[in-house]
């Protein structure tokens, strides 16, 4: 299945989630924030199939009488919220697990991005994407509606992780486009110091930033029992060693590095969650927006 195709069970779980900015109380309008969403909006947008939980007052009963199917009239109202999904596409994001070489950190990031867009689409919020890769950033400014989503997914489907991002250089290209009331979700493995510096810069500027650290199951479990060659795909360094002898030291240093990153993010008030690529892609979204994420 394509990383941009959402499994039916994931779609079902996403329907129970909302993207709520920290500054929701400062935004006016119905619900968590005024949005281009279902309900008593100002302008008719489109019909869509009825979903469990929809207000029955929005069902078009005349259309039901003609088609014998339930459809809901979506209306629009302007939203002050824009969701920015920032994806790290450096070479380390191409890392896969030994048990599943066809699924990388970058694949997981794209599926998480597709899930975030699905929620934003249902809420009626605008959403845009920044992909930071070795050859420069791809910037798709926020838009709304199914057509915009399809255009973003088409662009993401063409991309591959590679190279080393130039975050300090490229922040000038996309950072200024992000409004103070926008919600930013950064998808990264957290191993690029330039990426984390950019996250800190966004957080210090007052932006509402969330970070999802995407990691492999091999990093969590270190399932190597014999001789193995470990290679830094960005720096090129290689280490040849016995997996069983290296396991305890690796896991200790890995836990230490994760704790250090968590502490940096906590100090800036950045909501964050971890995602291992053998887990459902909606798990970190639920961790961030159902329970508020780690602070």
The 3-state secondary structure of the chain reads CCCCCCCHHHHHHHCCCCCCCCCHHHCCCCCCCCCCCCCCCCEEEEEEECCCCCCHHHECHHHHHHHCCCEEEEEECCCCCEEEEEEECCHHHHCECCCCCCCEHHHHHHHHHHHHHHHHHHHCCEEEEEEEECCEEEEEEEECCHHHHHHHHHHHHCCCCCCCCCHHHHHHHHHHHCCCCCEEEEEECCCCHHHHHHHHHHHHCCCEEEEEEEECHHHHHCCCCCEEEEECCCCCCEEEEEHHHHHHHHHHHHHHHHHHHHHHHHHCCCEEEEEECCCCCCHHHHHHHCCCCEC
Identify whether the C-beta of residue 36 lies closer than 8 Å to the C-beta of residue 126. yes
Q: How far apart are CA 137 and CA 58, in angstroms?
A: 41
Calculate the CA 36 to chain-centre distance: 21
So what's the pLDDT on residue 38? Answer: 44
Lookup result for tokens 């399932």: 223
Tokens of 284: 């970190």
- The sign of the dihedral angle between the CA atoms of 204, 206, 207, 208 is positive
**Superfamily in which the 8-17+79-289 domain is placed by CATH:** von Willebrand factor, type A domain (3.40.50.410)
Residue with the two structure tokens 């330039």: 194
d(CA 170, CA 177): 12
Quote the CA–CA distance of 161 and 289 in Å, as a whole number.
27
Cα 94 to Cα 87: distance, rounded to the nearest angstrom: 12
Q: What is the pLDDT of residue 1?
A: 77
**Tokens standing for residue 29:** 């309008």
Whole-number Å distance between alpha carbons of 167 and 258:
21
- Whole-model pTM: value is 0.81
Domain coordinates in residue numbering, the chain:
8-17+79-289, 38-76
CA distances from 130 to 18, 176, 225 (A): 21, 12, 39
- Which mean pLDDT values do the consecutive 10-residue runs of the chain (295 residues) have? 91 91 54 43 58 68 76 59 95 94 97 97 94 91 94 96 92 88 96 94 94 96 79 67 83 95 96 97 93 49
């Amino acid at each position: 299945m394509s990383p941009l195709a959402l499994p039916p069970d994931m779609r079902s779980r996403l329907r129970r989630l909302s993207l709520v900015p920290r500054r929701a109380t400062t935004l006016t309008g119905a619900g968590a924030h005024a949005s281009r969403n279902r309900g008593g909006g100002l302008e008719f947008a489109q019909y869509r199939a009825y979903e469990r939980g929809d207000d029955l007052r929005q069902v078009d009963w005349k259309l039901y009488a003609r088609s014998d199917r339930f459809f809901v009239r979506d209306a629009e109202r302007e939203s002050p919220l824009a969701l920015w999904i920032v994806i790290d596409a450096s070479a380390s994001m191409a890392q896969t697990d030994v048990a599943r070489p066809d699924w990388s950190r970058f694949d997981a990031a794209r599926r998480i991005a597709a899930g975030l867009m699905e929620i934003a689409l249902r809420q009626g919020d605008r959403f845009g994407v920044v992909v930071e890769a070795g050859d420069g950033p791809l910037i798709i400014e926020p838009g709304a509606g199914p057509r915009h989503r399809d255009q973003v997914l088409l662009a993401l489907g063409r991309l591959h992780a590679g190279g080393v991002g130039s975050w300090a250089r490229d922040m000038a290209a996309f950072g200024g486009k992000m409004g103070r009331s926008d919600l930013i979700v950064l998808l990264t493995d957290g191993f690029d110091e330039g990426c984390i510096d950019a996250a800190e810069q966004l957080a210090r500027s007052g932006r509402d930033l969330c970070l999802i650290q995407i990691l492999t199951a091999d990093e969590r479990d270190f399932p190597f029992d014999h001789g193995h060659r470990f290679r830094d795909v960005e720096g090129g360094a290689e280490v040849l060693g016995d997996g069983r002898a290296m396991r305890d030291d690796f896991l200790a240093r890995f836990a230490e590095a994760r704790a250090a990153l968590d502490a940096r993010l906590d100090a800036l008030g950045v909501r964050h969650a971890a995602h291992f690529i053998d887990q459902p892609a909606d798990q970190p979204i639920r961790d961030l927006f159902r329970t508020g994420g780690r602070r």
